[in-house]
Amino acid sequence: MALKSLDDLLSEGVSGRYVLVRSDLNVPLDGATITDDGRVRAALPTIERLADAGAKVVVTAHLGRPKGTPDEKYSLRPVAARLGELLGSEVPLAGDVVGEQAKAVTGSLADGQVALLENVRFDPRETSKDEGERAALARDLAALVPGAAFVSDGFGVVHRKQASVYDVARVLPAYAGGLVLAELDVLAKLTGDPQRPYAVVLGGSKVSDKLAVIEALLPKVDRLLVGGGMCFTFLAAQGHGVGSSLLETDMVDTCKRLLGEAGGKLLLPVDVVAADSFAADAATRTVAATEIEDGWMGLDIGPESTTAFAAAIGNAETIFWNGPMGVFEMAPFAEGTRGVAQAIADSGAFSVVGGGDSAAAVRLLGLPEDGFSHISTGGGASLEYLEGKELPGVAVLSEGA
C-alpha cells in the first residue's frame, strides 16, 4: 500500500502553510492531572518536525468518550499544557472544535506555532454513522486551515471511520505521519515472516474482546500465553470452577473449541492470586488455578505461572504482548504483569507491546521502555491489524497516493 509520508510533505515545503494533524492524545487523567503522558510524547516528533519547518500546525484529537457535547472533564486543556511543556512553547487551546474560538486561534497562528483544537468528540458529527454528517465536520475542519495538508498521526484511532480520521483525508491532501508509519512497519513484521519461535501473550478482561485476534494468530504462533481475567473462561472450559472470577459463560464453548484447535500451543496459568473482594486491601491467597474456592476471585496469575510464562517468553525470538496478567493497578495483583513484562524486556527478542493497558503497565510499574523493541500507542488498532482487518484511517491515505 503506497502512502504519502510526512517526509514527502516536508520535501514539498510547509513553511507558512497550515498543516492539520490528527494525533492520538487520549491520555488517562486523574481529575486534571495526566497520569501517563506516553501518547503525548509519542505525538511530539511529527508535530515538532512540522513546526521546525515553519508550518502553522493545528492539532485535532479526542479524549475519552463524551457524548457529542462539551464536557469539562474531557477537555484537552491538561493536554495542551503538557504539549506546551514538551515543545518548550505555549500551545493555545481553542475553546471549541470548529466554532468562533477555533477560527480565532487558528487565524492568529504564526509560522512554526502549534495550536490544539478542543476535543473533537465534543462535536457529535465526529463519530456519526451518517457519512454526510461526518463529511460536513471534515469540511468545517478544512475551512479552519485554508490551503492545508492533513497528516494522520493518531495510530490509536486509524481503525475508526470518524470525521477527523477518515473523512478529512478525503477533503485535504493527506499524508501518513511518522508514528503511523512506524506502527505499520512494526506490525508488518509480526504478520509477515516473524523470527521464530513466535510467542503471543494475551491478557485483559474478556475473551470476547480478543476472540478474533486469537483465531487469527493461533495458526501462526508457536506459543499463545493467556492470563488476565480472560483466562478464567478458558479454565471453566476445561471443567474447573473459577469461584467469583470474571467469567463469560457464553464464551465457554468457544474456548473449548480454541483449546482443541491449539494443539498444545496455548499456555494457561497453573496458579492464581485470589482475593475475597475486588479491592487493594482484600484478603489474598495463592491457590492452584484449578482450586479457586466459591466467593474468591482470581485477580492475578501466580508465581508458578509467572515462572512458566517467563520460560516460554525466554525461548522466543518474536513476542507480541497485549493485555495485563492481573489488576496491576493494585499492588497485591501487579506481580504477574511485572514478571511477564520483565521477562519480555530481558528476552532479547523482537518485542512489541500492543498499546493500551499493557503500555500503561510498563510505565506504571517502572519498567524500562527501551527494554522493548516497540511500544504501540494503539491497542485496538494493533489487534485489528493482526486480525487482518482493513484500517479505514490507513486505507483512505492510499486513495490519493
Average pLDDT value for residue range 59-64: 97
Question: Does the annotation flag 26 for ligand binding?
Answer: yes
Q: Mean of the per-residue pLDDT values for the chain? A: 94
Question: Does the annotation flag 329 for ligand binding?
Answer: yes
Q: Is the pLDDT of residue 272 over 70?
A: yes
What is residue 1's predicted lDDT score, i.e. its pLDDT?
Answer: 59
Q: How many domains does the chain have?
A: 2
* 224 in the same domain as 331: yes
Q: Give yes or no: 356 in active site.
A: yes
Question: Does the annotation flag 398 for ligand binding?
Answer: no
Q: Is the pLDDT of residue 400 over 80?
A: no
Residue 119 domain-assigned? yes
Give yes or no for a contact between 334 and 227, defined as CB atoms under 8 angstroms apart: no
Residue 22 domain-assigned? yes
C-alpha cell at 266: 496455548
Question: Does the annotation flag 25 for ligand binding?
Answer: yes
Question: Does the annotation flag 357 for ligand binding?
Answer: yes
> In this structure, what CATH number is given to the domain that contains residue 241?
3.40.50.1260
What is residue 98's predicted lDDT score, i.e. its pLDDT?
Answer: 97
Average pLDDT value for residue range 23-44: 92
* 164 in the same domain as 129: yes
Helical ranges in 53-153 per DSSP H: 77-87, 100-107, 131-144
Q: Is the pLDDT of residue 72 over 70?
A: yes
Residue with cell 472544535: 97
What is residue 55's predicted lDDT score, i.e. its pLDDT?
Answer: 98
Residue 397 domain-assigned? no
Question: Does the annotation flag 379 for ligand binding?
Answer: no
Of residues 77 and 1, more confidence is placed in 77
* 232 in the same domain as 345: yes
For helices 178-191 and 379-387, give the axis angle rounded to 10 degrees: 40
Q: Give yes or no: 380 in active site.
A: yes
Q: Is the pLDDT of residue 349 over 90?
A: yes
pLDDT digits 0-9 by tens, 24-34:
999 989 899 99
What is residue 65's predicted lDDT score, i.e. its pLDDT?
Answer: 93
Burial of 122 (0-12, 13-18, 19+ CB in 10 A): buried
Average pLDDT value for residue range 270-275: 97
* 244 in the same domain as 220: yes
Catalytic residue among 103, 206, 265, 363: 206
* 325 in the same domain as 216: yes
Confidence of residue 192 (pLDDT cuts 50, 70, 90): confident
Confidence of residue 198 (pLDDT cuts 50, 70, 90): very high
Cα-based torsion angle of the residue sequence 361, 271, 345, 359 in order, rounded to the nearest 10 degrees? -20
How many other CB atoms sit within 10 Å of the CB of residue 240?
16
* 364 in the same domain as 304: yes
* 345 in the same domain as 197: yes
pLDDT digits 0-9 by tens, 225-260:
999 999 999 999 999 999 999 999 999 999 999 999
Burial of 378 (0-12, 13-18, 19+ CB in 10 A): buried
Burial of 294 (0-12, 13-18, 19+ CB in 10 A): exposed
Domain boundary among 181, 206, 227: 181
Catalytic residue among 154, 204, 356, 393: 356
By mean pLDDT, which of 176-180, 300-304, 397-401 is the weakest? 397-401
* 367 in the same domain as 231: yes
Of residues 23 and 399, more confidence is placed in 23
Residue 400 domain-assigned? no
* 326 in the same domain as 268: yes
Domain membership of residue 66 as a residue range: 6-181
By mean pLDDT, which of 73-82, 260-269, 358-367 is the weakest? 358-367
Question: Does the annotation flag 181 for ligand binding?
Answer: no
* 121 in the same domain as 239: no
Domain boundary among 126, 147, 181: 181
pLDDT digits 0-9 by tens, 73-95:
999 999 999 999 999 999 999 99
Catalytic residue among 4, 17, 22, 39: 39
Average pLDDT value for residue range 199-207: 91
Length of the chain: 401
Q: Is the pLDDT of residue 401 over 60?
A: no
Helix, strand, coil % in the chain, rounded to nearest 5: 40, 15, 40
- What are the E-state strand segments in 33-189? 33-34, 56-60, 114-116, 149-152, 174-176
Catalytic residue among 54, 112, 371, 380: 380
Cα 289 from chain centroid (whole Å): 30
* 54 in the same domain as 136: yes
Residue 395 domain-assigned? no
Q: Give yes or no: 336 in active site.
A: no
* 345 in the same domain as 213: yes
Residue 117 domain-assigned? yes
Residue 57 domain-assigned? yes
Its pTM surpasses 0.95: no
Domain boundary among 181, 210, 225: 181
pLDDT digits 0-9 by tens, 166-189:
999 999 999 999 999 999 999 999
Q: Is the peptide bond before 45 cis (omega within 30 degrees of 0)?
A: no
What is residue 205's predicted lDDT score, i.e. its pLDDT?
Answer: 86
Residue 208 domain-assigned? yes
Q: Give yes or no: 39 in active site.
A: yes
